[in-house]
Amino acid sequence: MDSKIEIKEEQAQPVLSIRTRTAVRDLPAVIGESYEKIMQYMSGIGQEPAGAPFVAYYNIDVEDLDLEIGFPVAIPLKGSDDINSSEIPAGKYVSTTYKGPYQGMEKPYMEMAQWVEEHGYKAKGISYEYYFNSPMEVPESELLTRIVFPVE
């Protein structure tokens, strides 16, 4: 799949999230548990997500991933326990939407990295993945993921 890559200036986005570390092999369970915990908290305070759930990847160490797992919210909300009130910072972001299994996401990541370099930008070392559906809802071939890099 050839990715359509876009660059946009984004406003700061308030989020409720959990910052954690895990190995790649445990990623599905950790993401699922975190989403469930945040959704239960939001339901308890009468709030709903303002967009697709996301995971921010702060490194690429497959044995010790540094992650922020969460949901965008309409307004800043108070956190609780390990659920943090945070934000995705304003700035320039390069993005593409990928359709297919998670195991195939290396190609759009490589295409984006090449695009960033060719257009004179510098990636800030974080990547965000927004998940528009889940493997529990659709076949892997139908999974939709928006991949986003902040750049300068």
Domain that holds residue 123: 6-151
pLDDT of the residue at 21 = 97
> Is 70 inside any structural domain?
yes
> Is 52 inside any structural domain?
yes
Is the pLDDT score of 1 beyond 60? no
pLDDT of the residue at 3 = 64
> Is 80 inside any structural domain?
yes
What's 146's domain CATH number? 3.20.80.10
pLDDT of the residue at 136 = 87
> Is 1 inside any structural domain?
no
Is the separation of the CB atoms in 86 and 70 below 8 Å? yes
H helices present in 1-152, as ranges = 27-44, 106-118
> Is 31 inside any structural domain?
yes
Burial (CB count within 10 angstroms: exposed 0-12, middle 13-18, buried 19+), residue 17: buried
pLDDT digits (tens, 9 = 90+) for 19-73: 999 999 999 999 999 999 999 999 999 999 999 999 999 998 999 999 999 999 9
pLDDT digits (tens, 9 = 90+) for 120-145: 999 999 999 999 999 889 999 999 99
Domain total in the chain:
1
Sheet strands (E) in 46-126: 54-57, 65-72, 84-88, 91-99
Is the pLDDT score of 2 beyond 80? no
